[in-house]
Structure 1
Amino acid sequence: MELAFALAIGALTASGVYLLLRARTFPVVIGLTLLSYGVNLFLFSSGRLATGGQPIIGSTSQYSDPLPQALVLTAIVIGFAMTAFVVVLALRNLADNEDDHVDGYQSEPKSRKKTEDAEVSGK
């Protein structure tokens, strides 16, 4: 169980970092989301992976720690808000620059390119 959980965390983190290094907006947003999922699973696993444990200390000898569960719930809400904000920023960038590159090296806007092509062809 722990090996499968660790592999899932590693796969989510690796694919999130890979997508963060892309030059387009949508893969960066998906990469941030996958990276936050990996961190959430890591936080959740810090409270021990036990089945059938009570969340109350002292009722049984085996209990589950409620703190990582509360941290993950908070991180899910913050991650959703961050994703919504980044999507709005990406849409605004696309509307303003007519391009969705995130590395700062944007191609020429399509409207300027069309006017230059028309000037060159003499139309």
Structure 2
Amino acid sequence: MELLVASAVGVLTASGVYLILRLRAFPVILGLALLSYAVNVFLFSTGRLAINAPPVLQAYGDASYSDPLPQALVLTAIVISFGMTAVLVMFALGAYLEAEDDSINMTETDETETTGKEGEA
């Protein structure tokens, strides 16, 4: 079971990093979503899966219980990543509608920088 969860986290992280390194806006957003899923699975796996165990420590002192903290962290991270993804999609959609291209090109220079004459037309 540990090998399956570790493999899932590794595949999600690798594909998320690959998509973040693309030069398009929407694959970058999908890569960030995959990275957030990888972090969520990792956080959830830190809670040690206990089958048929109570979610909190009982009064009789049984040491077999599920830790509720990773579950709360994952729920909070899901809400935050959903809001972040929605905001990034709106930014990317606005940039695409304005420029008619979703390319992330950091090497283009502005016309005023190349000519050196800002005030003249």
TM class, shorter-length: 0.7 to 0.9
> Is residue 25 of structure 2 the alignment partner of residue 32 of structure 1?
no
Gap runs ≥5 in structure 1: 107-123
Scaled by the length of structure 2, what TM-score is found? 0.82
* CA RMSD, Structure 1 to Structure 2 (Å): 1.3
In structure 2, runs of 5+ residues without a counterpart are 109-121
Shift of the alpha carbon at 1:105? 4.4
Amino acid at match of 1:80: F
1:43-86 CA deviation, whole Å, 9 max, x = no partner? 11111122222111135331000000000000000000000000
User: What is the aligned-residue identity percentage?
Assistant: 59
Q: Which residue of 1 aligns with 2:44?
A: 44
SS of the residue corresponding to residue 103 of structure 1 reads coil
Aligned residues: 106
Q: CA deviation at 1:39?
A: 0.2
Structure 2 residue 98 is matched with structure 1 residue 96: yes
Residue type of the alignment partner of 2:13: T
In structure 2, what residue type is equivalent to 1:89? F
TM-score (norm 1): 0.81
